[in-house]
A and B are shown apart, each in its own frame.
Chain A
């Protein structure tokens, strides 16, 4: 009686034993690497309806972040400015540029410009800009060097573990309170100790419990 299984089937246990851990490791790697917001979110750089360049307006003209995003110190939401803010200057500068057609149209008709949101948190996160700005977390810490970008790009994963990294140990990301909007201020270049800053009235103690961010 011939053998039921051919000879090569003898190798199956060995090959499977070698492959299974590799496949398993590959799957774990794939989930860790590609399912992370560092892959799914970082680098998001949508095309905007108006080709607004932060590099031109911040690095060259020298506008402060708060000239346009003026609610950042007073409200949870750092507002995208209305066309009226653009027209403060663009009623004078480049007032006939075709690239600004949508801005003029929005200013004249009141129809909003449909900017595409880049930094979007899930609706169950109640992020508030106010305490972060007041604590001396720089704009660049979460948004990256927007002042060098022609097109705004998501630079940080905005994931919960990323938030908690800083909430558990905020000091490396704190800066003098008057340098918050200074995009070029690099924490690595300064020996800044927030606990010795006389401008600070109290120690920064970010919440790490659930209801700090979730309601």
Chain B
């Protein structure tokens, strides 16, 4: 029947026009989402990192006023927060509140791989991926196994992560204090691993196959033997 075919034609035509003008789902667009009903989507408060035009610098998040200390941030423990003993020298031990165990080293390894490996690589030789891209670093990151660094006390590595050193900037804002100590402990572990001999490995563990995850973290040059 012609009436019906024309009806189908009109329907197809209309939907083609609709899809053509309004668009399909999932099309990339630079235009912000359209929300017809904005009921309470945006409330009279500020989320983290949102702008607030009331302040001169435009930030909703405020810094603590100068000369004030937020609760819990007095940082009076020199050993924990600055890696220094009562004599002001860098300590070679973990703070009393942090226990050296498998959990700490696992945490240290994980955090090292997140925050340090991009430049220092997973073994700490200073040839991370970030240094191999985009023209490379003007100053090569340190090889953590060089004799000068291998001889440094544990607190030194904590201090470098916290304050930065040379061209390396501070990581204090990115890594909480306990994690910085965990990373320092892992740096020590890496250093020990590169100077170890077969006799350091317990008898029963010597012929164990290398775990897949560990094999993947080895330097392509095959530094570990």
Contacts and interface: CB of A to CB of B under 8 A. Distances in A.
A22 B13 CA distance: 13
Contact of B173 (A19, A44, A82, A92): A82
Nearest to B136: A93
A22 B11 CA distance: 8
A184 interface: no
B29 interface: yes
A49 interface: no
A123 interface: yes
Contacts of B136: 93
A153 B28 CA distance: 7
B119 to A, nearest CB: 7
Contact of A123 (B45, B119, B171): B45
For this complex, into which size category does the number of interface residues on chain B fall?
A: 35 or more
Interface string B22-45: 111111111111111000111101
Contact of B114 (A35, A37, A67, A88): A67
A93 B28 contact: no
Interface in B116-135: 117-119, 129-131, 133-135
A92 to B, nearest CB: 4
A70 B175 contact: yes
Taking each of B48, B51, B168, which has the highest tally of chain A beta carbons within 10 Å of its own beta carbon?
B48
Contacts of B114: 64, 66-67
B43 A123 contact: yes
A44 B28 CA distance: 6
A34 B20 CA distance: 13
Interface in A109-159: 110-112, 114, 120, 122-124, 153-154
Nearest to B113: A64
Interface residues of A, number: 57
A123 B41 contact: yes
Interface string A56-77: 1000111110110010001111
A205 interface: no
A67 B111 CA distance: 9
Contacts of A42: 25-26
Decide if the interface of chain B is mainly helix, strand, loop or mixed: loop
A89 interface: yes
A40 interface: yes
Contacts of A35: 36
A28 interface: no
Nearest to B132: A61
Contact of B29 (A45, A56, A67, A89): A45
A111 B57 contact: yes
Contact of A93 (B30, B36, B137): B137
Contacts of A112: 57-59
A92 B30 contact: no
A77 B173 contact: no
User: Which 3 pairs of residues, A with B, have the shortest CB-CB distance?
Assistant: A123-B43, A92-B137, A77-B48
14 contacts: A18-B7, A26-B15, A33-B25, A36-B25, A38-B25, A39-B25, A62-B129, A67-B118, A76-B48, A77-B47, A84-B169, A92-B131, A92-B138, A124-B40
